Amino acid sequence: MSISAQEFQRRRRELMEQMEPNSIAILPAAPERTRNRDVEHPYRQDSDFWYLSGFPEPDAVMVLLPGREHGEFVLFCRERDRAMEIWNGYRAGPEGAVANYQADDAFPINDIDDILPGLIEGRNRVYYDIGRDDDFDRQLMSWVNAIRERVRTGAQPPGEFVALSHLLHDMRLFKSKEEQAMMRRAASISAGAHVRAMQSVRPGMHEYQLEAEYLHEFMRHGARSPAYPSIVGGGANGCILHYVENSDPLKEGDLVLVDAGCELGCYASDITRTFPVSGTFSAEQRALYDVVLKAQLAAIAVTHPDHHWNYPHEEAVRVLTEGLVELGLLKGDPAELVETEAYRRFYMHRTGHWLGLDVHDVGDYRIGGAWRQLEPGMVLTVEPGLYVAPDDDTVEARWRGIGIRIEDDVLVTADGCEVLTHEVPKAVDDIEVLMREARA
Ligand code: GLY
Ligand code: MN
Ligand code: MN
């Protein structure tokens, strides 16, 4: 499964149509990053660069020049090199960039100092995201300065630098049919991994061993990598929002909170489920869980183009707070407790974020000071939770150390939304049935 060449082309065209006349856009590929000594992290292309090119290699720079007669899409990349390819793998080379990635023109990256200033020269405006890559910022300035040094010979340096992200990130926020299909598939693989984990978890397993079930299921279905480090927290570890050690044994009677999703074709999925290590929820676990589930369903119910971005969060907060009062964890009038943010002791994060090529995807949440209206094609997560700290002596001991989050990925449609991650159960009874059947 992949995004078509036509779609990459359509994106470049759409971006160039929005650029001012006589301008240039410049995007560097992500640098390779060292893990330790001479070992590198698995390479992941920069999301913006990928969105516009689908080109998977490091040491590349893409340039868009709307209206340029000799071609609007120019790619600088590594040259083919037999020895390097034997050691480190295939390279497209400038020939491959033209043949397989629709570049109109492609040059060796080693020639960029000689060629790029000539492409910038005479263009009034440069679209570039400054501050993301220090090395490249400096390089770009050196090319611009090279032009400035030649003004007396008639060279025309650009007058304006504009953030490319204003245009590009708004495009990325709206998912095309192809992107929706890719994200639906990523969601389905991740949902299958959560089902597998519910089926295979046993007391005594370590958290990282449960994590292995996810990684196995992702890869088995063509998703080589998780979209972010998996969070597998048994018992009170579920209350640590970014717990990634995943090193403890899972205990009978505890819940395990797993926040794990695969990346497919560079698109993220992001699912959290919380389920009992031994297959059955205790009364307290079930009571808190049902509050979170009710909040999540309420938030999904208002994920609709009639509403703004923050409305699902407001609904989740309302339902969570009412539930906390009903269970006696908070005392007082729910509306007032929402007003004073008393719920934050148990619910300290937001209910979601945009999802796409990045797990916390790009796109503005507010426009002109107001919350942004939801629109068809946007994808977001809905992920309320409740976390009772293990040392919270303001609540009865029976509640302490329970951490619950339920997270789904949701596509906004014309008349509401589609839950992309619907294939993994989330009602207590359904989870218990699934787990019981796997143990029979
Ligand atoms: N997995 C990251 C998040 O849920 O935001
Ligand atoms: Mn999330
Ligand atoms: Mn998550």
Locate the ligand 1 atom nearest the alpha carbon of residue 261 and give its number.
1
The dihedral through the CA atoms of 30, 35, 37, 38 has a sign that is negative
Q: Is pLDDT of 29 > 90?
A: yes
41 flagged as catalytic = no
- pLDDT value, residue 271: 98
Both tokens of 408, joined, read: 């789904």
Residues with beta carbon < 5 A to ion ligand 2? 270, 381
What's residue 440's pLDDT?
A: 86
Q: Which of 38, 134, 393, 415 is catalytic?
A: 38
Best of 407, 408, 410 for a ligand 1 pocket test (most atoms within 8 Å of beta carbon): 407
Q: Is the CB of 228 under 6 A from ligand 1?
A: yes
- Residue 436: CB partners within 8 Å, gap ≥ 6? 279
Question: Is residue 419 within 8 Å of 296, Cβ to Cβ?
Answer: no
pLDDT over 90 at 1, yes or no: no
How far is 206 from 34, CA to CA, in rounded Å?
29
Instruction: Indicate whether residue 259 lines ligand 1 (CB < 6 A).
Output: yes
The catalytically annotated residue of 37, 70, 82, 242 is 242
Q: How would DSSP label each residue in 110-158?
A: GGHHHHHHHHHTT-SEEE--TTS-HHHHHHHHHHHHHHHTTGGGT----
Banded model confidence at residue 230, pLDDT cuts 50, 70, 90: very high
| Residue 98 φ then ψ, to 5° | -75, -45
Q: What is the pLDDT of residue 153?
A: 94
Neighbours of 100 (CB within 10 A): 12
Domains along the chain? 5-171 (3.40.350.10), 174-439 (3.90.230.10)
% of residues, the chain, pLDDT over 70: 100
Q: What is the pLDDT of residues 170-209, one digit of tens each?
A: 999 999 999 999 999 999 999 999 999 999 999 999 999 9
308 is known as an active-site residue: no
Which ligand 1 atom is at minimum distance from the Cα of 228?
1
| Structure-token pair, residue 197 | 């984990």
Mean per-residue pLDDT, 108-134: 96
Q: Residue 336 burial by CB count (10 A; 0-12/13-18/19+): exposed, middle or buried?
A: exposed
349 is catalytic: yes
Query: How many Cα atoms are found within 13 Å in the side-chain-facing hemisphere of 407?
Result: 28
Amino acid at 165: S
- For the chain, the distance separating the N- and C-terminal CA atoms, rounded to the nearest angstrom, is 36
Tell me the pLDDT tens digit for each residue of 366-382: 999 999 999 999 999 99
Q: How far apart are CA 51 and CA 129, in angstroms?
A: 15
Our answer to whether residue 353 is catalytic in this structure is yes
Q: Does the structure show a pLDDT above 90 at 357?
A: yes
383 lines ligand 1 (CB under 6 A): yes
DSSP secondary structure, 203-258, as one string: TT-BHHHHHHHHHHHHHHTT--EESS--EEEEGGGGGSTT-----SBP-TT-EEEE
- The response to whether residue 258 sits with its C-beta less than 6 Å from ligand 1 reads no
Tell me the sheet residues that pair with 382.
408
Which residue has the CA at smallest separation from atom 4 of ligand 1?
270
Which ligand is closest to the CA of 380, given by its number?
Answer: 2
What is the DSSP pairing of strand 125-127 with strand 255-260?
unpaired
For residue 361, indicate whether it is catalytic.
no
DSSP per-residue letters across 17-48:
HHSPTTEEEEEEPPPP-EEETTEEPPP---HH
Strand-strand pairing, 125-127 and 23-28: parallel
Write the pLDDT tens digit of every residue in 419-438: 999 999 999 999 999 999 99
User: Catalytic residue among 308, 350, 353, 372, which?
Assistant: 353
The answer to whether 259 is a known catalytic residue is: yes
d(CA 63, CA 45): 16
* Given 121, 211, 322, 383, the catalytic residue: 383
d(CA 78, CA 80): 7
Ligand 1 atom with least separation from CA of 231: 1
Is 415 among the catalytic positions? no
Report the DSSP beta bridge partners of residue 206: 249
Mean pLDDT of 50-77: 97
As given in the structure block, the two tokens for residue 227 are: 């979209």
Integer Cα distance of 85 and 257 in angstroms: 43
Angle at 410 between CA 256 and CA 406, to 5 degrees: 20
